[in-house]
Amino acid sequence: AQSVTQLDSQVPVFEEAPVELRCNYSSSVSVYLFWYVQYPNQGLQLLLKYLSGSTLVKGINGFEAEFNKSQTSFHLRKPSVHISDTAEYFCAVSDQGAQKLVFGQGTRLTINP
Amino acid sequence: KAGVTQTPRYLIKTRGQQVTLSCSPISGHRSVSWYQQTPGQGLQFLFEYFSETQRNKGNFPGRFSGRQFSNSRSEMNVSTLELGDSALYLCASSVGTAPFYEQYFGPGTRLTVT
């Protein structure tokens, strides 16, 4: 079975600083990876996804992620964060390509002014 | 297009009761998935329905069940509620063939069991 590990449960950063949220997945023949964001009292919103092709994936709100097969990682980055990026971020893998996502435990990103 | 809607948004039930949650997918989406979110266990997949058939199932007891109607709307039911069933239940609808699909999540139903 697929699994995902988010290495940091909380990440505090200052506004306009860069941020990296780390995600490692269990290896598999085919890997489909996603990052979702959850704002307080809301559902999940897709930030970006890797299905195939270029290992650098660009998403919404200035986020990007790099798929690294040798490191089995899919870290999320943003060069300059804003207060509005305060939220919980979830890395997820599709279980064998099915419409069944396996999520990491989440990383709470806190932006300090 | 309207997003995924879930009703009710908040629900308080007593241990031993049963509950039904509803999810209306985005128009044209035929797949509906359900997830449970708790502080301890995180986000866990419950089941997925496509064209009124359960296509995938997570590791939850039989007290958790679901169904999908011909208009793609879905309901999930939890019988004999336990305190541990308190959670945010998220529904997601999707379109496209695996793995080239994208799941759109609703705002969730927060269930509190007392």
**Is residue A7 pLDDT above 80, yes or no?**
yes
Provide the mean pLDDT of chain B.
94
* Spatial contact of A38 and A44, defined as CB atoms under 8 Å apart: yes
Using alpha carbons only, what angle is made at residue B38 by residues B35 and A72, rounded to the nearest 5 degrees? 70
* pLDDT (tens digit per residue) in A48-106: 999 888 899 999 999 999 999 999 999 999 999 999 999 999 999 987 667 789 999 99
Please identify among residues 79-98 of chain A the ones whose CB lies closer than 8 Å to any CB of chain B: 90, 92, 94-95, 97-98
pLDDT, mean of residues A9-13 = 97
> Are the Cβ atoms of B43 and A99 closer than 8 angstroms?
no
Determine the Cα–Cα distance for residues A110 and B113; give it in Å rounded to an integer. 30
Q: How far is B32 from chain A (nearest CA, A)?
A: 9
Q: For B103-111, what is the mean pLDDT? A: 95
Task: For residue range B63-102, list pLDDT tens digits in order.
Answer: 999 999 999 999 999 999 999 999 999 999 998 776 667 8
